[in-house]
């Protein structure tokens, strides 16, 4: 029970921070579960289930605020959903890919942290061929790692100039939701179990998601959102390098 309550507090904080930038927090949930020693076979499905709840809140909040261009989502999801299913059904050796992904995340964090603009310029949108390819690559990583892929998608959208910062957050929330469903479907092919404390943890992430998505969709400045996203990317990179 002590571990369950500790995880509930960590999950609430993670959901609040991550949902403010359109993410659902799976990488942070995985890190917290690794710290307390949750059974490895329960970690990935638990993170994806929690993702479903937080991503649903993010989608509803950012869509209501006018920051979810649904048409821009189509090429990303067209590539990511089948790739996330494949990734969720296989086990990947992590010795090589984890540090490489961490470097990519840190590079994205640095680019976002040094940005000085206070608002977003007009953007042309997401080109279909590049969007499908990017979605497939990120979806595969999402399924393999038990995350929704937002830690890769949001900085790509912002730095490539495909979406404004708030629209990138909204698109990432919808992207994460689709990939979490697909990743869970892939896990079903091998079967999985969920911890008894899951209802408590769902309540914690829903609370954090409601607060964080409200702040991100309307209250934080664009520059503030970019700096928060940079922190999220650094935390995700640290998890990849230092935690199992």
For residue range 102-113, list pLDDT tens digits in order.
776 787 788 777
- pLDDT tens for the chain, 244 residues: list them: 799 999 999 999 999 999 999 999 888 898 899 888 888 788 888 988 999 999 999 999 999 999 999 999 999 999 988 888 887 777 656 676 677 667 767 877 887 777 655 556 667 789 999 999 999 999 887 777 667 788 889 889 988 889 988 999 999 999 989 888 887 887 777 667 789 999 999 999 999 999 999 999 988 888 888 889 889 989 888 887 787 6
Spatial contact of 13 and 208, defined as CB atoms under 8 Å apart: yes
Look up the domain containing 177 and give its range.
Answer: 2-242
The structural domain count of the chain equals: 1
For residue range 200-238, list pLDDT tens digits in order.
999 999 999 999 999 999 888 888 888 898 899 898 888
């Amino acid at each position: 029970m002590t571990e369950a309550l500790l995880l509930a507090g960590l999950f609430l904080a993670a959901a609040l921070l991550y949902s403010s930038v359109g993410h659902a927090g799976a990488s942070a949930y995985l890190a917290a579960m690794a710290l307390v020693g949750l059974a490895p076979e329960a970690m990935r499905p638990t993170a994806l289930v929690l993702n479903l709840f937080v991503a649903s809140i993010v989608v509803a909040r950012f869509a209501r605020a006018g920051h979810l261009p649904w048409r821009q989502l189509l090429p990303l999801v067209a590539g990511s959903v089948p790739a996330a299913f494949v990734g969720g059904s296989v086990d990947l050796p992590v010795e090589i890919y984890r540090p490489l992904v961490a470097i990519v995340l840190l590079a994205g964090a640095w680019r976002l942290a040094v940005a000085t603009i206070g608002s977003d310029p007009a953007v042309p949108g997401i080109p279909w061929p590049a969007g499908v390819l990017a979605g497939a690559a990120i979806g595969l990583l999402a399924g393999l790692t038990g995350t929704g892929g937002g830690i890769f998608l949001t900085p790509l959208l912002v730095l490539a100039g495909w979406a404004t910062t708030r629209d990138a957050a909204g698109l990432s929330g919808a992207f994460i939701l689709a990939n979490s469903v697909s990743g869970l479907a892939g896990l079903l092919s091998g079967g999985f179990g969920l911890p008894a404390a899951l209802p408590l943890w769902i309540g914690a992430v829903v609370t954090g998601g409601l607060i964080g998505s409200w702040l991100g969709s309307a209250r934080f400045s664009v520059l503030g959102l970019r700096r928060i996203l940079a922190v999220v990317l650094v935390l995700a990179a640290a998890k990849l390098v230092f935690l199992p």
